[in-house]
Amino acid sequence: MSASVSPLPTAQPHPHAPARDPAFAARVFWLSLALVLLWPLAVATEFRLWVLWAPENRKVTADFLASFWPLVHNAEFMQMVVRETWRTVAMATAGVTLALVLALPLSFLATRVLSLSALSGHMDRLPAVLRWCVRGTLIVLRSIPELIWALVFVRVVGLGPTAGVLAIALTYGGMLGKVYAEILESGESHATQTLMRNGSGRLQAFVYALLPSHAAELASYTVYRWECAIRSSVVLGFVGAGGLGQQLDNSMKMFNGGEVATLLLVFIALVALADRVSAWLRKALA
């Protein structure tokens, strides 16, 4: 005799459930406000998306994309690509390394959690002034785009990767120092303050309490900035800083779409490699 299966109970609506979303009016208000605020910005930037679908513009876009095929992959060109790829990675790596040398001590000085005078709740005047001066330095460094730094250094050291390395080092030093300080201040600081209250130095508190809890986040952001430095080399190459960016500029000036497409694929591969390195570091530090 087969066992009878009782039907599943159907869900009954709650007797006091509202007829519509109670936050509907608030969402409509904020969406309308956002549109009102964004409309003048679109007008000021002359943003007209429909221009992309104009017949003449569609033809120009199609011709440009069609020039990407076939890809250029002859032996001489690929040897140059390998050489300039290595130069681009070296430029980004050296620039980020110098940026770390600049950012680490500045972020150490800018982090309030590591201030001994702030343990009482109120930082002394001299450390507070020093901290604001350091933060002001970080603002200046990251406010000037790496393209401007590259133009300056090209005049000083001449054309080549050295100008790109120095440009990346200064701009990214400001970015890394600012974000490092914010990451270190955003987490739990009880262990750090306990060590310093019991006679530990700031460096010891940083190494044994603050750094271990933020190592994965700091490493992930550093690799992300390394990835950004590789992309920045495209722009820096346009002002003579060397690397794949300069070769991309030359290919675009010669209207050689096949070379441009090959170089863009190499950039995509480099960014994918940086993404995998970031994932590996996060897993290793977890």
- Residue 108: name the closest of 234, 5, 204 by CA: 204
How far is CA 151 from its chain centroid?
22
By the 8 A CB rule, do 91 and 231 touch? no
pTM of structure: 0.74
Give dist(CA 92, CA 164) in Å, integer. Answer: 8
Mean pLDDT across the chain: 80
* pLDDT attached to residue 175: 92
Q: Taking every pair of C-alpha atoms in the chain, what is the biggest distance, in angstroms? A: 95
* pLDDT attached to residue 1: 47
Give pLDDT tens digits for 48-87.
Answer: 777 778 787 788 888 778 888 888 888 888 888 888 888 8
